[in-house]
Amino acid sequence: MRRFLLLSALALALAACSGHTVHRVEVDLLSFVPQGNRSGELSLDNLILRARFPDDPGGQPVPVPGAEALLGGRIGLKIRLENTGTTPASVDLKVRLGPANDTDIYDGTGGDILAQSQSLSLNPGETQTLDLSLELQPNTPAFNLVKSGNFRIGAELSLSGEKVRYELTQGEVVLRLKLFNLIPNP
């Protein structure tokens, strides 16, 4: 009998703790960008003033099973930049999100949004890392798109200047989910 009471108390304690467990889901966005497209050069000479990750205007679809249990999260990108030109350059990075059915998340229609943008200025010969981090907070447009359970994401790097080499070194989506929120209350 004593063993039964001990096991019952332990089972109840574990059940109570598991209801408060928050799960972390990580999506490595770099795995969706081919190795050859992770680096390159934006150049006025070659009329290549923009790069997209991934290259598809529809962005990368990201299904999130159980997204209705979303508590928050973060989207992060890091791009190493080097001004290889002879004049100062400015580089803009924009992260866009859209619903699953949007075929062009860069056109501003169909429900897509500019989730975050960041700029960086580089002198000739200078190297810097552009580090963009977007916190997903409840009741924001970005959070609501992710919470829909099936969204698209993409990033666009653009140049104002002569020449800049770039290398995408990190891309991730980290979500915090409380999966026990999926269990209906009677």
Quote the pLDDT of residue 27: 80
Distances (CA, A) of 177 to 19, 29, 58, 68, 82: 12, 19, 26, 8, 38
Read off the pLDDT of residues 77-88 as tens digits, 9 standing for 90 and up.
999 999 999 999
Confidence of residue 121 (pLDDT cuts 50, 70, 90): very high
Confidence of residue 15 (pLDDT cuts 50, 70, 90): very low
Read off the pLDDT of residues 151-177 as tens digits, 9 standing for 90 and up.
999 999 999 889 999 999 999 989 898
Read off the pLDDT of residues 29-38 as tens digits, 9 standing for 90 and up.
888 888 888 8
Segment 117-128 shows an average pLDDT of: 95
Q: Which CATH code is given to the segment(s) 22-182?
A: 2.60.120
Read off the pLDDT of residues 39-98 as tens digits, 9 standing for 90 and up.
999 987 777 789 998 889 999 998 888 788 889 999 999 999 999 999 999 999 999 999
Q: Sort 98 into a burial class: Cβ within 10 Å, 0-12 / 13-18 / 19+.
A: buried
> What are the residue boundaries of the structural domains of the chain, listed by start?
22-182
Confidence of residue 20 (pLDDT cuts 50, 70, 90): low
Q: Is the pTM of this model over 0.85?
A: no
Confidence of residue 118 (pLDDT cuts 50, 70, 90): very high
Quote the pLDDT of residue 2: 56
Can you give the chain as a three-state secondary structure string? CHHHHHHHHHHHHHHHHHCCCCEEEEEEHHHHCCHHHCEEEEECCCCECEEEECCCCCCEEEECCCHHHEEEEEEEEEEEEEECCCCCEEEEEEEEEEECCCCCCCCCCCCCEEEEEEEEEECCCCEEEEEEEEEECCCCHHHHHHHCCEEEEEEEEEEECCEEEEEEEEEEEEEEECHHHHCCCC
